[in-house]
Structures are given as structure tokens and as C-alpha cells.
Homo-oligomer: A and B are copies of this chain.
Amino acid sequence: MTRKTRSQPQKPLPRATIKEVAALAGVALGTASRVINKNSRVSLENKAKVNAAIAKLGYKPDMVAQSMRNGESHTVGILVRNITSPVLAGFVRGAQDVLSEQGYTVLLGCSEESREREVNFLMSAASRRIDGLIMITTSEDDPELLSLRQDINIPTILFDREIPESFDALLMAHEQGIRQSLEHLFSLGHRRIALLTGNDNVFPARARLRGYRSFFEARGLPVNEGLISANTFTSEGAFVETSAVLGMAQPPTAIILGGISMLAGSLSAIKARGLRIPEDVSLVASGDSDLAMFATPPISVVRWNNTEVGRTCALLLLERMKGATPAEARRIIVPTEYLIRGSCGPCPSAPLKSQ
């Protein structure tokens, strides 16, 4: 169904230039520029004339020309995996929030796990002379991406990624989060606990695996590698992996999801097998969401404040861009919170002494 109405513009209107402002004010171009960039001294009279001309013409400085001149674009790139994840969207919102408040505009890139997209985004962002970059890369060891970043060489903050000795990084304490959830599940009698997370070429997966293994090792218990999957962060993947562990001869009595997009897929798999939460299987997710809060029962989560973390990343970047920071790359670990909800219950079978 289509209806037509009045005309649409094809070409942008020409904007007033500083030259026109100067002409209208009857002063030299340099003078007009000086009143716009307050730093220099101009006679009150000329200042008034220029300001009048600016108002009359609706003059706004052209940032393209300014970039050309300064090298700065007042633009920051944010590269995420998938803007569709509420956790990442919250992150972007927070970062965008403080950046726009400081006069920066955000160039958004979504990799959708594609290296090609990442590289394209970085190239076009660099070619637009972005002043800074916040990245959540798909992997930490893509040589093309790394060398490209090296070439661009602008202030960069990594979120939840660590690339050997190079970048400022803000990392969530996933390791701690996993340990806390394991402690809780242990206290409920669970011993066969699955950890489903993504490929260990990124920090969050490694940290969670570390948390999981160290927990058992600290107690002198063997780590059941069969209960660990480090294959995927996606919802579809979570469906597959959850189905797989639940189909084992001795299925786990609890599952920890080590990825922010995995809950829906895992719930589907559990439902598909006709299992109840927490009577048949306990569940812990990563990253809070409406789904985790309103599921029946509500799902225990290792969570953090996405928006706040986004804000922090932006602030770190701003410091870096101002050059107000020591040259060493910083590595900041932000605590997570383990929140108990109804999805964790006592272990259905009597707890075994060791596994």
C-alpha cells in the first residue's frame, strides 16, 4: 500500500560559509574565524557585527573542513559484535551518552562476527579520521585486524578483550562471577555442573573457563571436561550445546551459560526436553535482561551495569584522546555481581561425594 504526497529534496542546500559571514559583516575572513574560535582578541564592534551575520545566515561551521584543517573529526568509532543484544545495546547507549555530551558523534559498526566487516569498518572509520575507537572485536588474534589497528594508531579502548601488550582494556570479572555461581550451586548440592561458553580466543570465554577450572582445582576435585563447551556465544549455539549436555548419559544437574546471548536458546532446549527449572536442572545466565528477570522462574545471573560500563569506556577514551593519561596501556577489571533468582534449586539426586 503506497500513497504519494508532496515533493522530496534531492540535493542538500548549500550551507553558509565563513566567507559569507565575513562579507556580510564587512570584515576579513580571518576576523570572522577569530570570533568563532573565541581564543583570539577581536574588537567589540567587529565581534557584534560578525555575530549578527552568523545569526542572520544561520552559519554553522563545517566539520568536514575543520577535520581537513585540524585532523580531528570529533567522531568516535564503536565496533560491536551485535547491536541486537540488549547487553551490547546498553553498552553502546552508555558510551554514546557521554561521548555526545562531550561533542563527539558516534560511528557505529556491527561486525556480526565477520572479520571482513570488522576490517571494513576500521578502514572506513580511519579514512574518516575518527579521533578514537571503542572495540569489541570478534577475535583477539586476527593478524589483519591487528596490523590495521596498528596502522591507524589512534586512541583505542578494548571492552572485554585483551590483546597482548597494546591497548587500554576494560574487562569484566567473569572469572569471579563464575566462581560465585559455582559456590552457590555447590552449596545446593550440585556437582555435575556444565559450563557453556564461546571460543576461548576471546577474554570472556577464557576468564570463565579459568574460573570454572580453578574452582574445582582449589577443592582438589577433578575437572570434568565433558561438561565444558567452549564453542559458541550465540543463542542458536546455546540451543545445540544445551541439548547436547542434557542428552548425556549422566547429564549435569546445573548449567552455567557463559555468554550474554545464550539464555533464549538454552531455555528452548530445556523446554524441548520437558525439563523443569530448577527441579530438574538449575540454570545461571550471564548478563541481565528482561528475559532473565521475567522468565518463570526468574533466572540467576552474573550481571553488571551495561550502560555504566559503556560510560566508563567512553570516559577512558576521552582521557586517552586528551592525552591526559600515562602512556602505559591500562587494564581495568570491573567487578560483576552474582544475583540469585529462582532458577537455582537443590540438586535433584543426593549429592555425590566426588562428582
A residues engaging B (CB < 8 A)?
Answer: 1-13, 15, 58, 60-65, 67-68, 71, 73-75, 78, 82-86, 89-90, 92-93, 96-97, 100, 103, 105-110, 112, 117, 120-121, 123-129, 151-156, 165-168, 263-264, 267-268, 289-291, 293-296, 320, 323, 325-333
CB distance from A306 to the nearest CB of B (A): 9
Report Cα–Cα, A293/B289, bound state, in Å.
14
Query: Hey, which chain B residues are within 8 Å of A110, CB to CB?
Result: 93, 96-97
Task: Say yes or no: B8 contacts A325, CB within 8 Å.
Answer: yes
Residues of B contacting A124 in the complex (Cβ-Cβ under 8 angstroms): 63, 74, 103, 105
Contacting residues, chain B, for A6 (C-beta < 8 A): 165-166, 328-329
Closest residue to A166 on the B side, CB-wise? B6
Chain B contacts for A167, CB-based, 8 A: 8
* Distance of A264 Cα from B294 Cα, bound (Å): 7
Give the chain B neighbours of A64 by CB distance below 8 A: 64, 67-68, 73, 127-129
Known contacts A6-B328, A108-B106; is A65 also within 8 Å of B62 by CB?
Answer: no
> Residue on B with the closest CB to A128?
B63
- Among residues of B, the one whose C-beta sits closest to the C-beta of A162 is B5
A1 in contact with B129 (CB, 8 Å): no
**Cβ-neighbour of A328 out of B7, B67, B86 (below 8 A):** B7
Cα-based distance from A295 to B96 in the complex (angstroms): 31
